[in-house]
Structure 1
Amino acid sequence: MNSSEFQVLLSERKMFRISNVQHLVKIIARFLLCLAFLSLSLPLLKLFHFGQEDNQISITEIDSTSDAMESWSVSQMMTFLESSRMTNRSACNVFYEFGGVVINETFRYKDGQKSVCLDDGLKPAINNCLVYSFGIDNEWSFDDDMAKLGCDVYSFDPSMEEADHNRSARIHFYQMGIWNKNGFLFLDKKRPDVAWKLLTLETIYNKFKSVHGKRVIDYVKIDIEGDEWTVLPQMIESGILHRVKQLAMEIHFDGDDSIDDIRQRIGTLRSLERDHGMIPFDYKSNLNSKGFVQAAPDKYSCAEIVYFNSKFKM
């Protein structure tokens, strides 16, 4: 090979290397361009949902403020009640269920049990605790369990045809109920002797203060078949909740409730936490209550919800 041919060969190899480098640069450039496009596209893709749920709104993506609830459907509000966002389970480190009976042999479902937070500052002190229990209907399992702890239990139910009496040394029954004002509820105008005596929680506390003293109420149980929505606003307004460590309610919704009723009631529950320091730490749906709210037939219409008063949390 002469020098002229050698120079031509070197020139061809040089051009070949340059061509390969240029090709590689183009590949890298295209790759970087694709990465940039993906980084810009992903946030936009998250705004869209594909498939059958395109037009559905996930409850976990909805702001749970009162203003946002104005646009919620009944189904969305009932879903929110059942969601983890309604409760703060981690707020109470240890809680235990007291009372309850099996009411459905098929599903082995237990009803009437109440969760009690056992954290320091909140737990009922053994042999030195005070419990108010509203709504008995001859089902004493919760009251009996709390009495076994050594709590003084004051049990109230105007619907039971029993006179005031002591069920045991610790359990004291009174044929009266809780309401948003003091008075009598006449069930039959023709029979004025058949009436329920009803008092506010504040009045009841003051009535028995001479017996149990100015103690805080370790636990208030309210199971009054839907009338909790009448009682709760008055309890909040009166300020009596500052004397209550834990509050358990069975809440009820039914087919007669309007969407505004449901929205207002959920707002009342949330205001306990937002405005009054009552932290919901347990929520259990009543498994026999599905289908009573026509606008949300797949949701449960009754549930147990329990709060603790954060000012007593140590």
Structure 2
Amino acid sequence: MAARIIVFALVLLSTTDALRGKGRGKSKGRGSGASTVAVSPPGEVECTKCMSAVMRLLIPHESRGCPGMPNGTVITSTDLRRVPTAYCPTLLPKKRACIAYSFGADGSSDFDNQMVAATCRVLSFDPLCCGAAHRVGPSHDFIPIGLHWFDGLTDSDDPAHPNTTFPVLTLNTIKTSYEHPKVDVLRLKVATKHEWKVLKNLVNTGALTDIFQVSLNLRMEDHDMWEEYRTVLNGVRAAGFFPFYVKPQAGSTYLKVQEGKHMLYSAYEVAYGNDS
């Protein structure tokens, strides 16, 4: 059953023109499902109150998120450009093998390797790196597709990969193909407007219901997106997730928003747990 997802991805790549039309038709201009935000002049923040709200949403919760381990288990970073991240071992299943999905390697496999070491079945997804689909290890596969709100093709909005089209699938399609009723750990890179919309879609469709912890490589660098950042992170909180590990990313910018000892930066590593 799992092989079907790889076959599907290959079919997508070999029928680009047909599926390009299908994917765009489903997304209705790729703008459906996201909030409409006004465009501010370059360099002007649209919603300064939203920035404060986002900062408060990224304060680690002392008693929720990771039961018995307030900071979880820290994963050492082998890349000087990135700070360590973390996961919550007490939220991993005890009577079955855990399932971990990781989307957007972004040049680092530290998180994926740690999940393998924690005896998880790990699926790593990235359409913009690392070659064709292959078996990384006995319980670790790599699949060159992206996460989206439809099955088809999409165009990259990552400045590092311009004029690039790649295959995408929904989380539900991937879970069904691999016969995974639940995902214990979900790792996402959330930087571009496309990636923020994907996270928002997971919130709005209830796809986070069967997930127990979420790890985000988070970037907030668009001046006109702060209302959307607040909306999406509020949605993650409303879905029952509490941040237990929050660290400003290496090289992130201090955004001159501060309340007491809490300060807002442009990029973070954030680990959430849902112990409800």
Structure ranking higher on relative contact order (CA contacts 8 Å, 6+ apart): 2
Alignment-mate amino acid for residue 263 of structure 1: E
Candidates 220, 223, 236, aligned match of 1:257: 223
Q: Which runs of 5+ in 2 are unaligned?
A: 1-44, 157-163, 258-262
Candidates 300, 307, 312, aligned match of 2:265: 300
1:66-85 matched pairs, under 5 angstroms: 77-83=50-56
- Whole-Å Cα distance in 2 between the matches of residues 178 and 124 of structure 1? 24
Alignment-mate amino acid for residue 106 of structure 2: D
Q: Does 1:222 align with 2:188?
A: yes
Question: Secondary structure, in 3 states, of the residue corresponding to 2:131?
Answer: coil
- Whole-Å Cα distance in 1 between the matches of residues 104 and 73 of structure 2? 21
What TM-score do you get using the length of structure 1 for normalisation?
0.61
Q: Does 1:115 align with 2:99?
A: no
Offset at residue 268 of structure 1 (A): 2.0
Does the 8 A contact of 2:147 with 2:170 survive in 1?
Answer: yes
Percentage of matched positions with identical amino acids = 24
Structure number having the greater strand percentage? 2
Question: Secondary structure, in 3 states, of the residue corresponding to 1:160?
Answer: coil
- Whole-Å Cα distance in 1 between the matches of residues 110 and 184 of structure 2? 18
**Pair 135,74 (structure 1): closer, same or farther in 2 beyond 3 Å:** same
Structure number having the greater helix percentage? 1
Match of 2:137 in 1: 168
Alignment-mate amino acid for residue 286 of structure 1: Q
Candidates 276, 279, 290, aligned match of 2:253: 290
Deviations 1:79-118 (A, max 9, x none): 55445873313213311112522415xxxxx43x332123
Q: Does 1:96 align with 2:69?
A: no
**Pair 303,138 (structure 1): closer, same or farther in 2 beyond 3 Å:** closer
Q: Which runs of 4+ in 1 moved over 3 A?
A: 72-87, 124-127
- Whole-Å Cα distance in 2 between the matches of residues 163 and 126 of structure 1? 33
Does the 8 A contact of 2:79 with 2:108 survive in 1?
Answer: no
**Pair 250,137 (structure 1): closer, same or farther in 2 beyond 3 Å:** closer
Match of 1:247 in 2: 214
Match of 2:23 in 1: none
**Pair 73,196 (structure 1): closer, same or farther in 2 beyond 3 Å:** closer
Question: Secondary structure, in 3 states, of the residue corresponding to 1:251?
Answer: strand
Q: Which runs of 5+ in 1 are unaligned?
A: 1-71, 105-109, 188-193
Candidates 173, 178, 182, aligned match of 1:208: 178
Alignment-mate amino acid for residue 187 of structure 2: K
Deviations 1:212-249 (A, max 9, x none): x43x2110000143343111121122222111010111
Q: Which has the greater radius of gyration?
A: 1
Does the 8 A contact of 2:212 with 2:274 survive in 1?
Answer: yes
Q: Does 1:195 align with 2:165?
A: yes
Does the 8 A contact of 2:190 with 2:219 survive in 1?
Answer: no
Alignment-mate amino acid for residue 271 of structure 2: V
Does the 8 A contact of 2:125 with 2:145 survive in 1?
Answer: yes
